[in-house]
Each structure stands twice: as C-alpha cells, then as structure tokens.
Amino acid sequence: MCGIIGYVGKRPAQNILLDGLKRLEYRGYDSAGIAVLEHGKLTVEKNVGRILELEAKLGSTQWASTIGMAHTRWATHGKPSTANAHPHVDHTGKLALIHNGIIENYRELRKELEKKGIAFQSQTDTEVLVNLISDLYTGDLRTAVQEALKLVRGTYGIVVLHEDHPGMLITARNGSPIVLGLGDGENFVASDVTAMVAHTKNVVYLEDGEIAELHAGTHEIRTIGNETVTREASEVAWSIKQAERQGYEHFMLKEIFEEPEAMRNAMRGRVIPSEGLAKLGGLNLTEDEMRDVRRIVIIACGTAYYAGTVGEYFLEHYARIPTEVEFASEFRYNNPVLDEHTLVFAVSQSGETADTLAALREAQRKGVRVLGIINVVGSTIARESNGGVYIHSGPEIGVASTKAFIGQITAFLLIAFQFGRLRTMSQQEGIELANELIVLPEKIERALAYANRVKEIAKHYASYKNFFYLGRGANYPIALEGALKLKEISYLHSEAYPTAEMKHGPIAMIDENFPTVVIVPNDLYYEKNISNIEEIRARSGKILAVTTEGHTILEEYADDVLYVPETLHPLYPFLTIVPLHLLAYEVAVDLQRDVDKPRNLAKSVTVE
C-alpha cells in the first residue's frame, strides 16, 4: 500500500516526482525517498517521516536528471527507518528499486545471496529483491527482472532504475497496482493515477504477471514469460482539481461535504421515478438471471464491509433475497458454501484491496458470478469481476473513507431496488422509493448544515477515552462505521453494538466516563431505543443521541442531541452517518490528530 511514482522524459524529474509523492502520501507516510540518474550516476536520497521532511533534506538541491523514481512507504518488513526506506540500492551501487507488496520467500532468497557474499543493510524484503535482480543481471535489465520475478513468491509492484540504462525504467506487477501514464515525449509509472493526472490522463493498467519497459517516447509491455502484450490506453475521467483540498482544512472534511454529490453521482441515470425503477446496466445480468438469484454474499473489508452490512439490510428488505456479509480476509480460508444460485458482490473503494481481490478469485474459482462495487475505474477488481457498479465518487484522498461509503450504500440500494421490482416490490412502492432517492442528497446537505453544532459538541467529548455506539436495524452498521471512524483518526477506543445487545453484557462498562452515541431516528425502533437510553441514564451514562428533526423530546433523555431530516425508515443510514462522520472528524481535530494521515494506516491495503 506504499506510493510509487516514476518518470522518464525531457523535463527535470525531481519536482515531478516530489509532487507525485505528495499526491500519493495517503498510501503511506512512514518514510520517503527519491532516486535519479544525475550525470549518469545513481543518486538516492531518503528520510524517515513525511515528504516535506524529505524536501527539507534535499534543501536547495536541484538535479538536472530527466529520469527517476520516488516512493512513500507504509512499513511491512522492518520498522520505519532510513535504512528500511525506499529506494533500495543493490550491493554494486548501480541498481535501485522501489517496491509495494510483500516477497514471502525473501528469507530463503536472502540466505542464498548471503552465501554469495552479498551483505544487507536493511530488514526489508525489498533489499533482497534488488540484490536478486543484480545477481542475475548480465547487461539486459528487463531479462534480469523477469528472471528474478520468476523466483519470488508474493505480491509486488516495482520500478527499477539502473546506471547502465540511463533512459529506461522497468516496472512490473503482481497483486499490487501499477499504472502507466503516457505523455508527449514523456512517460510515467505510478501505483495510483492521482500521482500523474496533473501531467496526463492517458493511462494503461498493468495486469498481474506483466512487465513494462518505459522510455521517454515509447513503452512496451510483456508478460514475465516474455510474451508481447498490446493494450489500448484509457482516459482518466476526473481532473486534478478534484484531488485537491480546495480551501478545506483537511481532505476528510472536504470529502464529508462531498457526500451529497457522491450520492447523486452514484444514482445519475440509474433511477426512473416515473416508472418506479432502477436500472444498472453494468450488472451484466438478464432479468431471468436476476430472478434466479436465491442468495447473495457480500465480501469486503473495513468501511466497505459496513457498507455491505447496510446493503444486506436493503437487499433483504426490498428484494427479499437472503444475504450474508463476509470479511474478505476470512472468506477464502473458510471454504465458503456457494452454488449456481449464489451471487457475490466484492466491495472496494480502490478496487485493489488484496484480501477482497483474493476472495473474488476464490469465488470465481468455484464457478460463481462475482460483481464489483468499485470507485476506481480500471482497477483490478473492476477488471476481474464479471460486471458490477462504479460508484463514481471521484478521488478519495482522506485515509478514512467517507464519501465512498455513501456511494457504496447507494449502489446497494439501487441493486436492491432493481432486484426488488423484479420480485415483490409494487410499482407504487417503487415510485415512492425513487422519488425519495431524488431528494435524499438535499437532505444529506441539510444534515451537513448542523456541522457547527457537531463541532461544538465534539469539544465536550474529546476528553473521553472510551465510547459506545448503538444502533438498530440498518443503523447498527452505521454505529459500527461511526465507531470505526473515531478509532481510525482520533485513536480513541470505541465499539458498536446493536442497541438491545447493550444489556447483554456491555452495559457493565457504563459509567459517567463512558459516553454512548445512540442512533435514534423516528423509525419502527424508536420507542425501544428510548427504553434503552433510560437504562443507560439509570447508570449515569452520558448520552449523545442522533435523531430526526422535530423530535426534541430526546433532549429530555440525552445530554446532547444531533438532528437529521426525516426520510423513509429504511433510508435513514444515508442521513445518520453524516453527524457521525463529522463527530469523528471534529474530535480528532480537537485532539490535534493528523486527520488525513492517521498513524499506522494507509488508504489502500494491497498486502495481506
């Protein structure tokens, strides 16, 4: 999940690489480094910490080199240190490599290299790979990389630079994303298009087992087995402006305020209010095939998992299809029971999540159709699934996902809507649902209008160390998502339960120093939730309630109340998540956390 950027062309590479790194820093920020060929000699600079610290270390240095590569790291093998930072250089000092992924058999490879007298300076698997390539190098760099990669087990996205080849970069991938950017007399390589979209929108995605050779005006793709690959470039649909903060203090806050537009983008052209229909052409299913689905399994991780849990509620409520949500990281090890009537959805913002991709492949291996719910066009899961839904949320830079969550639950609702109308949902119910969907983004905007109130309340809660989040029905996964956001960016302990489960054990934790966030919209659970709040109050627990506008009676029961507009009962998750995202953000800001780059985390988990 590290950030990779490489450039070969006619312009000085240094600033292009550093700017690309800054746009990739959400993928890892333990350390950073850069390598260029300056006057024909390999020159490397790296540093622990953020990219700004690397820039400070470079000072007034301005290399003239028009070829180079850079890396920002999320540590896997070896703690963050200058020695473990990338790029790694081989024992000859002429070959450098940057790497995202994990080489699983690096220990045995290292022992073989050590027997040949090669000494190692770091704890990383990457230094083993660069020395393995060096050991196999006899003048043809691409062949050396190919032969080395045949010997490794694991995942990798790599870029290689060698003094003997001053106008060439070699890159390869297996399980870790690599994308080529094609310019006019210049070419780029990166782990994410964000790093190079300021320079080119023409991109080519490498597939697993492929290697590319880049020169200033040309590129060539082959397989590791040396078969030629021909692939047309695709165009990035969004602009660099969308990947900038645009005046917001943090990307996360910007992306929370983009949630209404995220829902609009996910729905655009897919809802037909006059007929009470939803239409998702990308599912690649006939109506008969949709009617034949008897069970749905959703595979996902993290926030996407909680979106899938909301999706389970929608699919069972509207489409009446039994649905299960599985952690993708566990799915392929559990020998899942799948048959010809099972449909699997793989959910991932990046489309590169390693666990989800592996689970997708396991389901397909068993002959099951897998559909993706993805944000990033052209990503690996998007390419390997049998169809699916792009949520079109645009670039999401904040490590803690927010607007993509809205896009994902919108996709699930539309899927449930489309399947439901083919089964038990009447046209009138469909028209009612469609009409509410059209106005729901405006209601999200109304929920965001309470942002200053959330900010005020957050100051009172930032001093607590532990939190409960409670919700019922589809608002239980919203409680899970709210608790996850607080953990991710504020580092405070928080856990979520179905509201009624609180009295089956967790209530033992309640006291005046353990506040509870309760989701209490005006739905069928309303009175039961009030009873549960009374149980917390009886034990001196502090309560923050999220409820529907107009229900001011909650102010008699709760210490603080946040309001959301009224909607159809099943749709409250689109609104109740808004104050919880804002609360997590404001608490983290009050605690002076690095909101966009929380410790130990990175945006896209591309290693298992």
Question: Can you tell me the distance from the alpha carbon of 362 to that of 341, in angstroms, rounded to the nearest whole number?
Answer: 16
What DSSP letter does each residue of 540-572 carry, written as one string?
A: T--EEEEEETT-GGGGGT-SEEEEE----GGGT
Question: Can you tell me the distance from the alpha carbon of 65 to that of 407, in angstroms, rounded to the nearest whole number?
Answer: 42
What DSSP letter does each residue of 490-528 carry, written as one string?
A: H--EEEEEEGGGGGTTGGGG-STTS-EEEEE-SSTTHHH
Q: Of 2, 301, 443, 542, which residue is the catalytic one?
A: 2
Instruction: Answer yes or no: are the C-beta atoms of 96 and 87 closer than 8 Å.
Output: yes
Please confirm, yes or no, whether 2 is among the known catalytic residues. yes
Instruction: Answer yes or no: are the C-beta atoms of 557 and 571 closer than 8 Å.
Output: no
Half-sphere exposure of 187 (CA within 13 A, CB side): 21
The structure tokens listed for 303 are 């926030």
Please confirm, yes or no, whether 603 is among the known catalytic residues. yes
Spell out the alpha helix ranges (H) of 65-175.
106-115, 125-136, 141-149
Half-sphere exposure of 91 (CA within 13 A, CB side): 17
CA 329 from chain center: how many Å?
15
CA 533 from chain center: how many Å?
35
Q: Of 22, 403, 542, 603, which residue is the catalytic one?
A: 603
Burial class (CB in 10 A: 0-12, 13-18, 19+), 352: buried
- Report the candidate in 247, 255, 245, 304 with the shortest Cα–Cα distance to residue 582: 255
Beta 219-223 vs 234-235: how paired, if at all? unpaired
Instruction: Answer yes or no: are the C-beta atoms of 344 and 370 closer than 8 Å.
Output: yes
The interaxial angle of helices 573-590 and 259-267, nearest 10 deg, is: 150
Question: Running DSSP on this structure, what letter comes out for residue 326?
Answer: E
Instruction: Answer yes or no: are the C-beta atoms of 294 and 342 closer than 8 Å.
Output: yes
- Report the candidate in 371, 250, 382 with the shortest Cα–Cα distance to residue 315: 371
C-alpha pair distances (Å), 28 with each of 127, 145, 451: 19, 25, 29
Question: Can you tell me the distance from the alpha carbon of 481 to that of 489, in angstroms, rounded to the nearest whole number?
Answer: 12
Phi and psi at 197, nearest 5°, equal -65, -20
Question: Running DSSP on this structure, what letter comes out for residue 319?
Answer: I
The structure tokens listed for 444 are 């999200």
- Report the candidate in 55, 112, 123, 46 with the shortest Cα–Cα distance to residue 82: 46
Write out the catalytic residue numbers.
2, 603
